[in-house]
Amino acid sequence: MKYGQTYQQAATVELQEETNLCEKPNFLGKFVVNEEPDRMIVAVYNIISDKKITLDPTEAYNGNYYSLDEAERHIRVNNTTHWLPQSWEIVKNTFAH
């Protein structure tokens, strides 16, 4: 995120850089991480698109599609960043309704 950028602007730029999608991400929520080695604010977004994703290999080396149940299981049993479970709770609560 660059100085003066909003979360929305940063999410839009990152989405395009990493996936070549020009979509407007939908804000789902944010939270503060104050746990070594990270001190940051995590903003969670989603998009729904039928466009083809093209990963930029300098930005992302891999991508997978998961159902909500598969994502839940993956986060529970795999080693992930320590802030991903809290991000997942925001996503899960958004789509549980």
Q: What share of the chain is helix, strand, coil (3-state, %, to 5)?
A: 35, 20, 45
Is residue 2 domain-resident?
no
Give the whole-angstrom CA distance, residue 14 versus residue 8: 10
Is residue 1 domain-resident?
no
Is residue 66 domain-resident?
yes
Number of domains comprising the chain: 1
DSSP state letter for 51: S
Q: Which domain holds residue 73?
A: 7-95
- Kindly report the CATH number assigned to the domain that includes residue 75: 3.90.79.10
pLDDT, tens only, 26-78: 999 999 998 888 888 999 999 989 998 899 989 888 888 888 889 899 999 98
For residue 92, CA distances in Å to 2, 25, 39, 75 come to: 28, 16, 24, 12
pLDDT at 28: 96
Q: Residue 13: pLDDT above 70?
A: yes
Is residue 88 domain-resident?
yes
